[in-house]
């Protein structure tokens, strides 16, 4: 099973020699970010900064910076552990498309160990200390000024809780949070995000929106906040499924929301309709700065925390960064669900260098002319996969995770006058390459073998790939030691 809270995971990592305590004073202005980025790119350990300048809270960083640590945090041996469990929910056969996805998640609700469990106020560790009024001071929390051109200090791993003002359906999301002053946070939720929709609905009704932001949450909850779930699927239901037992929740003190009882720190407040402040720039996971834009400004009325709390954050920027393992987990976990929507898919890969949404490499068992193009358009219609800018389709015998083999197929199997599909559609809010915000050009590359029915009528048809003679290869394998190689 996954760890119930952050601090128990950190203790386990320390026992494994996979956590380093840093007792020297460190500056959250640029210094922490530089340290963490170097350690992450070197595949180094989780870090616990015990003496952060200007704050009395320790700061946990790079906790999920390797696949090994994220798997340990979630209680898994491999990411396929969850994809196989999800695959089990899909039997007997479910309808295709989003109906099938919802029916699969509907089965989660029948599992008694999965739905979240409410605990009594006062018994939750995260409410051991309650601060209101003039005692609220966000400067106590170590926010990071990570890159030289950032517009301020940010909290990068606060899990934001909202609920739809009309339906009451809650949403858990991970968005960057700029600290404007000791009681004000900038909410950078992008145009395609559910929380942005909640705010727009509340503003249209002339109502303020309650918000709670939790830091240092149980690992399964942190992962669930990043998962691309349909808007009506509860992230806490999914977190319980991943964790293997129910997530304990507690009512907030000043807003009508629930948060993880075992979080380290929670901040609570209200968003007033139309109350905006400039947010950014910010060195984001794209590896480029995103520009300053107006975003809602949250006024904090209450802070709850453990008696000796610690904060958790991450550093994003030019990949690889700590969000890499989180993206790989999503890629593997959601393969069975993507296959419901696009059953033609054999496997897929979302390269970290593409930010997990700029490129999708997809393998198919090609059966008919223009099969690859059919799959491209199906992916562009599949929930958040609609933001994919480049789709490369290869045959089923290609390992989509071997970028050398994929590039060999894509570069050698393509006649760009026929095999390149160019369309326009929505792109990620953070995409800087589109000539206008929110939409731009996309491309699909058909790198599959071409059929005569597709116009490939050269003598002899599509050529065979060069392969070793099986008998010779087997003989060489058996004699390998004799060669002294």
- Give catalytic residue positions: 284
Radius of gyration of the chain (CA): 24
CA atoms of 393 and 347, how far apart (whole Å): 10
Who contacts 458 (Cβ-Cβ below 8 Å, separation ≥6)?
none
Distances (CA, A) of 249 to 124, 389, 410: 8, 38, 48
Length of the chain: 485
Whether the ω angle into residue 281 lies within 30 degrees of 0, i.e. cis, is yes
Give the C-alpha separation, 320 to 307, whole Å.
Answer: 35
Instruction: Quickly tell me which residue has 């933001």 as its tokens.
Output: 387
Q: Are the beta carbons of 119 and 248 closer than 8 angstroms?
A: yes
Tokens of 142: 């170590």
What 3-state class would DSSP assign to 359?
strand
Residue 160 CB partners (closer than 8 Å, separation 6+): 172, 173, 174, 175, 177, 187, 189, 195, 211, 212, 213, 225
Query: Hey, how many other C-beta atoms are within 10 angstroms of the C-beta on 95?
Result: 11
* Secondary structure class of 413 (helix, strand, coil): coil
Q: With H, G, I as helix, E, B as strand and everything else as coil, classify residue 344.
A: coil
Q: Which two tokens stand for residue 464?
A: 């065979």
How many degrees, rounded to 5, is the angle at CA 174 between CA 284 and CA 50? 80
Query: Per residue in 303-312, is it b (16+ CB within 10 Å) or e — as a string?
Result: bbbbeebbbb
SS (H, E, C) 124-169: CHHHCEEEEHHHCCHHHCCCEECCCCCCCCEECCCEEEEECCCCCC
Neighbours of 470 (CB within 10 A): 8
Q: Residue 213 belongs to what H/E stretch?
A: strand 209-215
């Amino acid at each position: 099973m996954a760890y119930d809270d952050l601090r128990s995971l950190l203790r386990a990592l320390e026992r494994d020699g996979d956590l380093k305590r840093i007792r020297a004073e460190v500056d959250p202005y640029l210094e922490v970010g530089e340290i963490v980025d170097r350690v992450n790119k070197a595949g180094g350990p989780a870090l616990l900064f015990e003496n952060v300048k200007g704050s009395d809270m320790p700061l946990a960083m790079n906790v999920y910076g390797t696949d090994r640590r994220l798997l340990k945090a979630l209680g898994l041996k491999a990411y396929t552990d969850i994809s196989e469990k999800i695959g089990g929910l899909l039997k007997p056969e479910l309808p295709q498309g989003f109906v099938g996805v919802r029916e699969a998640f509907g089965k989660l609700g029948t599992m008694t160990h999965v739905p979240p469990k409410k605990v009594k106020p006062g018994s939750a560790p995260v409410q051991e200390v309650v601060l209101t009024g003039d005692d609220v001071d966000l400067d106590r929390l170590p926010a990071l000024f990570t890159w030289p051109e950032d517009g301020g200090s940010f909290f990068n791993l606060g899990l934001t809780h909202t609920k739809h003002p009309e339906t009451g359906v809650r949403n858990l999301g991970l968005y960057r949070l700029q600290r404007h002053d000791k009681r004000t946070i900038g909410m950078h939720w992008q145009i395609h995000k559910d929380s942005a929709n909640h705010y727009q609905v509340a503003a249209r009704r002339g109502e303020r929106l309650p918000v709670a932001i939790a830091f240092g949450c149980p690992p399964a909850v942190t992962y669930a906040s990043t998962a691309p779930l349909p808007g009506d699927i509860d992230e806490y239901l999914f977190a319980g499924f991943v964790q293997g037992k129910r997530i304990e929740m507690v009512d907030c003190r000043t807003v009508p929301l629930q948060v993880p009882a075992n979080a380290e720190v929670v901040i609570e407040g209200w968003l007033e309709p139309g109350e905006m402040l400039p947010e950014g720039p910010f060195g984001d996971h794209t590896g480029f700065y995103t520009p300053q834009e107006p975003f809602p400004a949250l006024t904090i009325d209450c802070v709850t925390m453990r008696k000796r709390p610690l904060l958790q954050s991450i550093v994003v920027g030019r990949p690889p960064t700590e969000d890499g393992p989180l993206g790989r987990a999503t890629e593997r976990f959601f393969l069975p669900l993507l296959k419901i929507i696009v059953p033609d898919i054999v496997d897929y890969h979302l390269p970290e260098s593409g930010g997990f949404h700029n490129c999708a490499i997809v393998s198919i068992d090609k059966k008919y002319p223009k099969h690859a193009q059919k799959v491209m358009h199906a992916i562009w219609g599949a929930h958040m996969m609609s933001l994919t800018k480049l789709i490369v389709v290869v045959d089923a015998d290609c390992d989509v995770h071997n970028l050398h083999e994929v590039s060999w197929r894509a570069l050698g199997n393509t006649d760009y006058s026929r095999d390149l599909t160019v369309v326009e559609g929505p792109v990620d809010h953070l995409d800087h390459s589109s000539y206008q915000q929110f939409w731009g050009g996309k491309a699909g590359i058909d790198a599959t073998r071409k059929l005569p029915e597709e116009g490939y009528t050269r003598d002899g048809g599509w050529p065979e790939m060069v392969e070793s003679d099986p008998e010779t290869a087997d003989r060489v394998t058996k004699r390998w030691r004799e060669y002294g190689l």
